[in-house]
């Protein structure tokens, strides 16, 4: 029996997303198409005699930052060391970078042993969106009509690194809508809602305040006909947690944002929902 690790094909990236669905992570139905352009060499597959059994994504952003996700071993091969070998190959590719991940509770102790330290907790809140008008002086518009350099600069405030190729795909793929909040010509909010296998997934959700966050969700839910939405809310922004609870949404899932070194500086006050557990 031969085990080897190599770069995933586009079809295998789609397979990785299907594995994530099986794990209960509920990615968007077209997310894999955005994943594939984020860093084409950043998706690794472990194969036994050519058959895929493990996966990991290790995506480089800029010169010094990376994000690890999609770390999955097929249930029938767990406990045999193949996942660990895949992890080691991924971390080798990230050498010299600060690496982040969103770790499920069951794996956080293992991540600590690999040098990751928690920065905050993400709680997934799910529920029915409540109608909310845009605040006075704020317009909600299609994000695809905003000059991309402005959208990318705004996104970078909350992510901490450039991710232009990924972002361009993230806002433009099918089965999703992307909206921006404008006050005059200033961007004061940005959000994407994607169709998913269960509740429609909201992420990112960036906003200057609660009212803008609510108006973005209202517009997106109307676009998609969504009756239930889910968003991963970071507790590093207590206002965002209070906002999600005020919607009477229920917590359903928890992860920890963890880093191997000094985290990039981000505008946590406007971070109402992270973009993706898989790629950050």
Give the 3-state secondary structure percentages of the chain, helix then strand then coil, rounded to 5.
35, 35, 30
Q: Give the residue carrying structure tokens 């994530």.
A: 20
In this predicted structure, what is the pLDDT of residue 121? 98
Per-residue pLDDT 10s for the chain (280 aa) are 689 999 999 899 999 999 999 988 899 999 989 988 878 889 999 999 999 999 999 999 988 999 999 999 999 999 999 999 999 999 999 999 999 999 999 999 999 999 999 999 999 999 999 999 999 999 999 999 999 999 999 999 999 999 999 999 999 999 999 999 999 999 999 999 999 999 999 999 999 999 999 999 999 999 999 999 999 999 999 999 999 999 999 999 999 999 999 999 999 999 999 999 999 9
SS3 80: coil
138-142 and 200-207: which strand pairing? unpaired
User: Are 118 and 105 contacting, i.e. CB atoms less than 8 angstroms apart?
Assistant: no
Residues, the chain: 280
Domains and CATH numbers, the chain: 3-119 (3.40.630.30), 125-273 (3.40.630.90)
pLDDT of the residue at 263: 94
């Amino acid at each position: 029996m031969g085990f080897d690790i190599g770069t995933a094909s586009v079809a295998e990236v789609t397979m990785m997303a299907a594995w994530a669905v099986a794990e209960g992570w509920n990615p968007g139905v077209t997310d894999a198409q955005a994943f594939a352009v984020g860093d084409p060499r950043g998706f690794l597959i472990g194969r036994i005699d050519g058959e895929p059994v493990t996966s990991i994504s290790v995506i480089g952003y800029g010169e010094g930052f990376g994000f690890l996700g999609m770390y999955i071993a097929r249930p029938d091969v767990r406990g045999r060391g193949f996942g660990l070998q895949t992890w080691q190959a991924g971390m080798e590719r990230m050498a010299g970078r600060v690496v982040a991940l969103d770790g499920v509770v069951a794996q956080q102790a293992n991540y600590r042993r690999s040098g990751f330290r928690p920065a905050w907790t993400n709680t997934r809140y799910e529920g029915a969106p409540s109608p909310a008008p845009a605040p006075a002086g704020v317009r909600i518009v299609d994000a695809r009509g905003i000059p991309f350099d402005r959208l990318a600069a705004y996104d970078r405030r909350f992510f901490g690194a450039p991710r232009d190729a990924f972002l361009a795909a993230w806002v433009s793929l099918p089965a999703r809508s992307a909206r921006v909040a404008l006050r005059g010509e200033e961007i004061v909010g940005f959000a994407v809602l994607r169709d998913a296998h269960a509740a429609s997934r909201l992420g990112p959700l960036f906003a200057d305040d609660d009212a803008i966050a609510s108006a973005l969700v209202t517009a997106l839910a109307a676009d998609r006909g969504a009756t239930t939405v889910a968003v991963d809310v970071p507790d590093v922004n207590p206002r965002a947690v209070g906002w999600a609870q005020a919607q009477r949404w229920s917590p359903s899932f928890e992860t920890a944002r963890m880093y191997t070194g000094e985290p990039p500086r981000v505008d946590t006050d406007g971070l109402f929902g992270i973009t993706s557990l898989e790629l950050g």
